[in-house]
């Protein structure tokens, strides 16, 4: 009897345990579902596992000149990439520098550490006289606060003499070796930093001459101004020939909308609070859009691999930042939203392409648009539309982020492109072959720009009149230049195009829908962008509006 | 090991935990209920001060709801045209509301569009132009799915037009989120920067709502969130999302 | 005596003028109206041993570019450095060529237009001087007291005060 009773009690206990356990689980699951903590824990842990902040470039490593320009005198130049390895050059002055740019910084340090250094503003004509002899210049594509630049590079700031506000270009000349020249592009001013140490200056003259000679020896092309080549008033540099080892390079996008883990990763990155309040829209062409709230946060993932994120500006948290702080914030943001490592392992080299000041639509809130570009073997990668990475900050808040990274196998192959050199089509030939087309698009773009300006209260444009305000007017007709038979006005059209070219660069071009990067000539003229195959000279792009500044 | 004693301990522990969790649950429900009453009263006072007139009953709100994935489902124009041409005209002698509704239902059936989500909404008649429009609304369970509409247009008893902006529910979201009180939605509508000086609230209904997209956006899937559809000032309609974010 | 002196001076002057007459003036060829030598400019002085030759053609043309070093005053002392024939079938084209590592001296660039038989029908000549400088022995002297902004103002101030 007792045994039967005991067994019954044990069975009841078992049933009670089971029921209480199920009840507990049900109650716990209820709290887990309705609590945001559970979701956040999952999201945070995913983000921690997947975020790539383990590799992050130093801000100063990204703030580099766009290129190093070497003047050989008599209007001849060679262009060098900033990251040219010093091992490649027949030059050694004991600085142990790895790259050409760090060598220039070391030379600058030598100057600034002299005891009697003074800074003085000079005339443009004096500067031009120096530039007509051989020089070596670090040319930036944006204006840098001069004192900050020196401090961040561990260089002493000269205390005596004039105060330089911003810096666009630093130049050394063996023919004026007691000076270092600084050009302030923002204010259009020129300076020289002078040492009174004649012995030092004499040594530097020899050093700079040797450096220029070694850079000239490894150059693949010589550049001259368009004025020297074509006879029109334009000091934009154009290579008269180009020997290169670049080849077509297949690529793959770093982000794929087809990969659900990629998509989930992006969702967690940008909506760390969870996807419950986020509206998810799938467009017919395959792209995804996420909207939180009343467009407080919007994320777009395109089928082509572009990630676009926008966030509403929160004025309450605004605090003004300087350029370096903004760049640093941008670098950190990229590190936390996609990372840098895949760029480098994908055969690309990120660099700071440009920095533009921006302002909020309302209120006195300022910030910067920080744009990072990609280079492959020192050659910039140009996209058909958009930039590889751009971060817009107002104060310290990122209000817009765009990212589209392409990866190649170049990083793994280790090839340098120096093995099979070939001669690209000369860009001047490309311009002479296509100037009528370029003229047509440039004048149409200029007319549209004037119409838009007129709509915003600018000057009206008469019917049929091409009011070109943003470009240089066609130069006066040279009386010696006879018009070709049957070609009335052709020369004027060419002169107009040539006078308004403001950039000629060899690049690796990624057109919309392409599967490989192609070596191309990028020519910016007026408000238009033209891309031509470097081998055949055929045009490869259809859009005309320039994304970048001159 | 004395399993019997161990079971006793486990039972006591689970009982305590269940009592604790159950207490929290009940407290939350009760708290929500008390909070809701207090919030309504507070908001009601503010609305009175603003001179807002409420002519309808305030519906009860569910404690929480999930989001809803939807798929846009519009027909090809050529397919619609074929069905319109093939439709049989209504009998001349029996052109009443029932006949039009039946004809519209038949038309939808021929287009395979008469699923359980399409519910008859209204018939509007324009006697001057001899036009009759039969409209349908989209329902997900008990809740309307806005902004969906389907209308069959008759002219002189013949189907002459068909308009459809429709979404099909796909699946609900994984998490339930708390739904705001309808009084809060009215407060939001009539708040600072509102479009009218005086508000007269005629109806307030809980719906699933997808905010309209740009016209050039070609969308396949979207997300509907619970919202309060407020009808005010003689038929004007606004949707206020219920999700507190 | 005075008369003889004057005649001597005139002969010397005429000889000097004669020396400057281009050696090819005797050919009598004129400039091609459809060709312009953009670079180098006539009588241009180069500070380095690089010279850009850029010739603009506004009709289809065959040209011959010849580059000479001028060692003396007559044809025998014109040493040919390089020569190249270039043809274009376009209504607008540029012939560009960079000449490098030239020593200090005087040079003559001749651009001749060739007919289908290969004969010169037009010719343009440009003389340049290469005056290479070494940074060890030459430094730009453009920053004297007259040159710089601050020294201008300090000079003005001095003048006003004194």
The verdict on a CB contact (< 8 Å) between B222 and A283 is: no
Does the interface predicted TM-score (ipTM) exceed 0.85?
no
Helices marked H in chain B — which ranges?
3-50, 77-86, 97-110, 182-189
Rg over CA atoms, chain B: 25
Residue of C nearest to A129 (CA): C142
Tokens in use for B144?
């309307």
pLDDT band at B141 (very low <50, low <70, confident <90, very high): confident
The verdict on a CB contact (< 8 Å) between A31 and B24 is: yes
**Partner residue facing A228 (CB), from C39, C136, C138:** C39
Q: Tell whether A254 is within 8 A of chain C (Cβ).
A: no
Pairing of strands A397-403, A307-311: antiparallel
**Partner residue facing A283 (CB), from B11, B211, B219:** B219
Report pLDDT digits (tens) over A420-451: 889 999 999 999 999 999 999 999 998 888 88
Look at C110 and B158; give whichever has higher pLDDT: C110
Report pLDDT digits (tens) over B56-104: 888 877 778 888 999 987 776 777 788 788 777 777 777 788 888 888 8
Report how far residue C158's alpha carbon sits from residue C162's, in angstroms, rounded to the nearest whole number: 6
**Partner residue facing A129 (CB), from C36, C46, C142:** C142
* Max Cα distance, chain A (Å): 130
Q: Do chains A and C touch (3 or more CB pairs under 8 A)?
A: yes
The answer to whether the Cα torsion of A305, A306, A309, A310 is positive or negative is: negative
CA distance C74 to chain A (A): 28
Is residue A230 packed enough to be buried (19+ CB in 10 Å), middle (13-18) or exposed (0-12)? buried
The verdict on a CB contact (< 8 Å) between A282 and B219 is: yes
Report how far residue A146's alpha carbon sits from residue A157's, in angstroms, rounded to the nearest whole number: 9
Q: Say what the pLDDT of residue B49 is.
A: 82
Rg over CA atoms, chain C: 23
Q: Say what the pLDDT of residue A549 is.
A: 40
Residues in C closer than 8 angstroms to A485, CB to CB, are 59
| Residues in chain A with pLDDT values less than 70 | 1-2, 32-54, 410-419, 454-489, 543-550
CB A501 within 8 A of CB A238: yes
Report pLDDT digits (tens) over A126-155: 999 999 899 999 999 988 999 989 998 999
CA distance A494 to chain C (A): 9
Look at B135 and B82; give whichever has higher pLDDT: B135
Subunits touching C (CB < 8 Å, at least 3 pairs)? A
The verdict on a CB contact (< 8 Å) between A76 and C36 is: no
Q: Say what the pLDDT of residue C60 is.
A: 94
Any residues with CB less than 8 A from the CB of B227 and at least 6 apart, and which? B146, B206, B207, B208, B209, B239, B240, B241, B242
Which 3-state string (H, E, C) describes A358-418?
Answer: EECCCCCCEEEEEEEEEEECCEEEEECCCCCEEEEEECCEEEEEEECCEECCHHHHCCCCC
Give the best residue of C30, C39, C152 to mutate against chain A (max A CB count within 10 A).
Answer: C39
């Amino acid at each position: 009897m007792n045994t039967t009773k005991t067994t019954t009690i044990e069975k009841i206990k078992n049933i009670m345990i089971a029921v209480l356990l199920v009840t507990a689980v049900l109650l716990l699951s209820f709290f887990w579902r309705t609590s945001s903590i559970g979701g956040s824990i999952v999201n945070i842990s995913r983000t921690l596992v997947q975020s790539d902040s383990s590799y992050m470039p130093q801000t100063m490593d990204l703030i580099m000149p766009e290129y190093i320009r070497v003047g050989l005198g008599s209007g001849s130049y060679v262009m060098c990439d900033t990251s040219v390895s010093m091992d490649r050059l027949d030059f050694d002055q004991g600085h142990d520098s790895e790259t050409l740019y760090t060598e220039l910084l070391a030379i600058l340090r030598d100057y600034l550490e002299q005891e009697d250094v003074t800074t003085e503003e000079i005339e443009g004509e004096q500067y031009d006289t120096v530039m007509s002899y051989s020089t070596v210049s670090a040319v930036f594509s944006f204006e840098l606060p001069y004192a900050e630049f020196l401090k961040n590079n561990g260089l002493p700031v000269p205390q005596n003499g004039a105060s330089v506000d911003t810096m666009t270009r630093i130049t050394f000349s063996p023919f004026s070796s007691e000076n270092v020249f600084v050009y302030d592009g923002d204010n259009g001013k020129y300076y020289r930093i002078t040492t009174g140490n004649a012995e030092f200056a004499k040594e530097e003259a020899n050093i700079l001459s040797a450096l220029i000679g070694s850079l000239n020896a490894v150059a693949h092309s010589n550049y001259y101004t368009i004025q020297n080549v074509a006879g029109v008033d334009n000091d934009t540099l154009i290579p008269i020939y180009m020997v290169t080892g670049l080849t077509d390079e297949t690529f793959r996008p770093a982000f794929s909308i087809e990969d659900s883990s990629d998509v989930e990763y992006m969702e967690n990155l940008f909506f760390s609070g969870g996807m419950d309040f986020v509206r998810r829209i799938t467009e017919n062409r395959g792209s995804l859009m996420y909207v939180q709230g009343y467009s407080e946060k919007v994320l777009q993932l395109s089928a082509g691999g572009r990630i676009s994120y926008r966030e509403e500006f929160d004025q309450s948290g605004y605090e003004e930042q300087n350029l370096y702080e903004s760049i640093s914030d941008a670098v950190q943001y990229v590190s936390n939203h996609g990372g840098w490592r895949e760029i480098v392992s994908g055969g690309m080299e990120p660099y700071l392409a440009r920095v533009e000041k921006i302002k909020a639509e309302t209120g006195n809130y300022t910030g910067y648009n920080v744009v990072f570009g990609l280079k492959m073997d020192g050659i910039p990668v140009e996209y058909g539309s958009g930039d590889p990475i751009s971060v817009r900050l107002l104060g310290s808040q990122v209000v817009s982020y765009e990212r589209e990274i392409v990866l190649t196998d170049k990083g793994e192959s280790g090839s340098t492109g120096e093995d099979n050199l070939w001669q690209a089509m000369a860009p001047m030939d490309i311009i002479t072959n296509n100037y009528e087309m370029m003229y047509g698009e440039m004048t149409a773009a200029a007319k549209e720009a004037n119409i838009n300006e007129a709509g915003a209260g600018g000057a009206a444009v008469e019917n049929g009149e091409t009011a070109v305000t943003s470009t240089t007017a066609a130069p006066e007709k040279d009386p010696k230049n006879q018009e070709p038979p049957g070609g009335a006005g052709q020369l004027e059209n060419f002169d107009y195009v040539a006078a308004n070219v403001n950039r000629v660069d060899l690049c690796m071009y990624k057109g919309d829908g392409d599967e490989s990067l192609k070596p191309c000539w990028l020519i910016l003229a007026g408000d238009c962008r033209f891309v031509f195959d470097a081998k055949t000279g055929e045009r490869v792009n259809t859009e005309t509006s320039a994304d970048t500044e001159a | 090991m004395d399993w019997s004693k161990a079971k006793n301990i486990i039972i006591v522990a689970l009982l305590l935990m269940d009592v604790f969790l159950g207490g929290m649950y009940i407290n939350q429900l009760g708290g929500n209920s008390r909070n809701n009453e207090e919030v309504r009263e507070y908001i009601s006072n503010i609305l009175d001060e603003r001179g807002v007139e409420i002519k309808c009953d305030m519906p009860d709100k569910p404690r929480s709801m999930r989001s809803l994935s939807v798929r846009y489902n519009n027909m090809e124009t050529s397919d619609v045209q074929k069905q319109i041409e093939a439709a049989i005209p209504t009998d001349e002698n029996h052109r009443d509301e029932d006949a039009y509704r039946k004809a519209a239902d038949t038309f939808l059936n021929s287009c395979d569009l008469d699923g359980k989500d399409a519910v008859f909404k209204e018939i509007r008649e324009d006697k001057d132009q001899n036009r009759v429009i039969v409209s349908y609304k989209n329902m997900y369970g008990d809740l309307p799915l806005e902004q969906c509409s389907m209308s069959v247009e008759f002219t002189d008893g013949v189907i002459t037009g068909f308009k459809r902006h429709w979404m099909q529910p796909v699946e609900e979201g994984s998490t339930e989120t708390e739904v705001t009180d309808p009084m809060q939605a009215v407060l939001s509508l009539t708040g600072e920067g509102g479009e009218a000086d005086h508000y007269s609230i005629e109806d307030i209904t809980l719906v699933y709502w997808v905010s309209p997209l740009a016209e050039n956006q070609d969308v396949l899937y979207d997300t509907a969130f619970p919202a309060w559809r407020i009808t005010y000032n003689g038929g004007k309609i606004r949707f206020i999302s219920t999700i507190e974010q | 005596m005075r008369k003889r002196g004057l005649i001597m001076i005139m002969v010397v002057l005429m000889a000097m003028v004669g020396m400057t007459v281009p050696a090819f003036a005797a050919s009598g060829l004129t400039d091609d109206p459809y060709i312009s030598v953009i670079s180098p400019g006539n009588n241009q002085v180069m500070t380095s041993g690089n010279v850009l030759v850029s010739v603009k053609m506004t009709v289809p043309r065959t040209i011959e570019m010849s580059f000479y070093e001028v060692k003396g005053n007559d044809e025998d002392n014109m040493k040919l450095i390089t020569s190249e024939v270039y043809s274009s079938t376009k209504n607008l084209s540029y012939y560009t060529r960079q000449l490098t590592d030239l020593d200090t001296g005087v040079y003559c660039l001749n651009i001749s237009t060739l007919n289908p038989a290969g004969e010169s029908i037009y010719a343009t000549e440009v003389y340049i001087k290469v005056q290479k400088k070494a940074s060890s022995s030459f430094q730009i002297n453009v920053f004297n007291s007259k040159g710089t902004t601050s020294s201008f103002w300090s000079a003005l101030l001095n003048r006003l005060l004194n």
